[in-house]
Structure 1
Amino acid sequence: MKDHTISKETLDFLKTLEKNNNRDWFEANKPEFKSHESYVKQFYSSIRENLESHDEIEKMKMFRIYRDVRFSKDKTPYKTHFAGSFSRLGAHLRGGYYLRIKPGESFAAVGFWEPNKEDLFRIRKEFEMDASDFRKTIGQDSLKSIWGEIQGDGVKTAPKGFDKEHPDIDLIKRKQFIFVRNFSDKEVLSTSFMKEVNQSFKAIRPFFDIMSDILTTNLNGESLLD
């Protein structure tokens, strides 16, 4: 397994960027940024290689440092973190992984951030019919000990066409299905950080498996991929 580390110098650079979030400072320090960015990209590429030992990854995306400030009240031009995402294999394996490196605010996240309306309706219909397998899956100690409880936004009342008194309405109301694990700076700088991230991603697999099964079948359990 690939096992690189994040350097203290990288976190220190991000801290300094946060204090000097302007174009003049950034341009003057761009060579140093490029050096950190190059190494962090290698770090994320190694995470992908580790992921591919137990999952199938279709795409890795590293997010740019430049902020889109057109519709934001915050006009600072640069992000003060590094981040990347890893998408699973297309229509067959659903869900994705995400990792952000930011001093004091690093975290890994997994799941479904913005399911399209067809997928969201299919998930809700599954929970309406029977959510017991899903609850059993996300309640496993091996998953909860690392990821805790499921998170994400939801609607305030029952979605149209669903009974607000349904016993699983808490799941039916969800619009997102994500898990988040926070990391301290000490953990991020540890030589075991990459291994810890990989083990965390591996531990979420039962959740991805049941969600992929839901999204690739109809309510009769028949495959939609044939």
Structure 2
Amino acid sequence: MNFKKLFQFLGELQINNNKEWMDGHRSYYKEVRDEYISWLDYLNIEFAKIDPDYFDTPGKKAINRINNNLMFHPNKLTYKDHFGAGLDQVSKQGDFYIHLGVQECFIGGGYWHPSSKILKSLREGIDYNGEEFKAILARPSFKKMFGALVEDVSLKTAPKGYSQDHRHIDLLRRKSFAVVRNFSQKEVESSDFMDKIIGAYKELLPFRRYLNTAVSV
């Protein structure tokens, strides 16, 4: 995958963020997009070797639209400044997400602002066995790669049905359960980026399995 070309395209797109420019450079876009899809296809195969429960997600299904949704966000630019993709995509919320853009590059997993139904299930899972989740978060290798849960707005009080002195109240107040690992463009362009992505997928598996189990039970 020629990531230099990907970043070059995104940079040019942001300078010329309009439909007229995109229409005139459609073949350029498709060349970069198709190469990215092929790269995702390779990851899809590798992840399936690692995880027996992996949900097959070909590159064409994994990749997100580059158009912004102007119906709900009319003030946004016509096109995004990144290529996003979600692998192991049973649902769009709990997948393994890859974000490669001109402003930031990262991979992540978990649930970011899930629906009230999913959030209720996550809290029930933590109430039942939050010790296991905290043990996953405390693993040295996990902390080294992802740090802590992504900071987000939390409830100021205990959620309904839980006491203020609950042993896992710090987690129960959260509205999101997600982690990210940032990369520089130089890291993305390096020859070992694929290995880093596969390593991150392996490290993230226990975290994602715990959350996805809580949601599915």
User: What's the TM-score, normalizing by structure 1?
Assistant: 0.83
The answer to whether the 8 Å contact 1:152/1:174 transfers is: no
Alignment correspondent of 1:155 = 155
Deviation at residue 87 of structure 1 after TM alignment: 3.0
Q: Pairwise mapping of residues 1-226 of structure 1 onto structure 2 (< 5 A)?
A: 5-55=1-51, 56-59=54-57, 60-87=61-88, 95-151=94-150, 153=152, 154-217=154-217
Consecutive unaligned residues of structure 1, counting only runs of 5 or more, are 218-226
- What is the rounded CA distance, in whole Å, between the counterparts of 2:172 and 2:181 in structure 1? 23
- The structure richer in helix per residue is 2
The answer to whether the 8 Å contact 1:111/1:177 transfers is: yes
The answer to whether the 8 Å contact 2:105/2:182 transfers is: yes
Does the C-alpha gap of structure 1 residues 212 and 23 become closer, same or farther in structure 2, counting only changes over 3 Å? closer
- What is the rounded CA distance, in whole Å, between the counterparts of 2:87 and 2:5 in structure 1? 25
Query: What letter matches 1:61 in structure 2?
Result: A
- What is the rounded CA distance, in whole Å, between the counterparts of 1:37 and 1:129 in structure 2? 43
The answer to whether the 8 Å contact 2:110/2:211 transfers is: no
Does the C-alpha gap of structure 1 residues 213 and 27 become closer, same or farther in structure 2, counting only changes over 3 Å? closer
The answer to whether the 8 Å contact 2:95/2:110 transfers is: yes
Query: What letter matches 1:128 in structure 2?
Result: D
Query: What letter matches 1:25 in structure 2?
Result: W
The answer to whether the 8 Å contact 2:64/2:85 transfers is: yes
- What is the rounded CA distance, in whole Å, between the counterparts of 1:95 and 1:32 in structure 2? 32
- What is the rounded CA distance, in whole Å, between the counterparts of 1:132 and 1:57 in structure 2? 27
Q: Which runs of 4+ in 1 moved over 4 A?
A: none
Q: How many aligned residue pairs are there?
A: 210
The answer to whether the 8 Å contact 1:83/1:98 transfers is: yes
Does the C-alpha gap of structure 1 residues 17 and 89 become closer, same or farther in structure 2, counting only changes over 3 Å? closer
Query: What letter matches 1:87 in structure 2?
Result: D
What percent of counterpart residues are identical? Answer: 28
Deviations 1:116-141 (A, max 9, x none): 43442233233334522211111101
Query: What SS does the aligned partner of 1:127 have?
Result: helix
Q: State the structure with more CA Rg.
A: 1
Query: What letter matches 1:68 in structure 2?
Result: N
- What is the rounded CA distance, in whole Å, between the counterparts of 1:157 and 1:120 in structure 2? 16
Does the C-alpha gap of structure 1 residues 40 and 113 become closer, same or farther in structure 2, counting only changes over 3 Å? same
Query: What SS does the aligned partner of 2:62 have?
Result: strand
Specify which structure has the bigger relative contact order, considering alpha-carbon pairs within 8 angstroms and separated by 6 or more residues: 1
- What is the rounded CA distance, in whole Å, between the counterparts of 1:106 and 1:87 in structure 2? 19
Bigger mean CA deviation after superposition, 142-151 or 79-88: 79-88
Consecutive unaligned residues of structure 2, counting only runs of 5 or more, are none
